[in-house]
Amino acid sequence: MKLYFPHFDGTDVLHWIFKVEQFFDYYNTSETQRFSITIVHMDKEVVPWFQMIMKTQPFHSWMEFTRALEIEFGPSSYECPCLTLFKLTQSGSMKDYYFEFTALSNQVSRVTTDALLDCFLNGLNSDVKRDVLAHGPDSILKAVSLARLFQEKYTKKPYQYLPSVSYKSQTQAQTTNSLTKHKPRPQIA
């Protein structure tokens, strides 16, 4: 199996760092090789930033490099993923809410799984939340599964049976037809 190394253009640095570290772990890549591989996969404004840093303050470790990337291209220190996570509410589809929830929960540390479950449940739409809570999920995966199920319930339009001809008019038509078929013909004398 061959894994492809992701390019980095300055967006979504935390996601990129996670992916490249998985790549390096898979191939058991040394720290010196990590820099060589990374340099050729940088794009846009990351290239001049990296060149400037290497001239002025070269990195001595991979961890130092990833920390510098987070500072330069990551969320501002005024942004707090934990606060954002705890304030997160579902405003659109379940898929979008769960994606945003997982992205934020991956950025926080020292939050228990029970607290994450409570946070997820608390952010759900009120109707969906009520139904999910009634089932008492004990994990985020169960809560997500239930939430998706109940979200479908509230977003699908109920099927309405609309017959093309009503029963009453159909019976009247049959009665009229049967009367006209069996009507005696007048006799001519």
Instruction: Report the alpha-carbon distance of residue 158 to residue 141 in Å, rounded.
Output: 27
CB 121 within 8 Å of CB 133: yes
pLDDT tens digits for range 91-106: 999 999 999 999 889 8
pTM of the model: 0.58
Nearest C-alpha neighbor of 143 from the set 167, 165, 122: 122
Q: How far is CA 47 from the centre of its chain?
A: 31
- Residue 162: is its pLDDT beyond 70? no
Residues 8-41 pLDDT 10s: 999 989 899 999 999 999 999 998 899 889 999 9
What is the Cα 68 distance to its own chain's centre?
A: 28
- Ranges 47-51, 68-72, 153-157, 166-170: which has the least confidence: 166-170
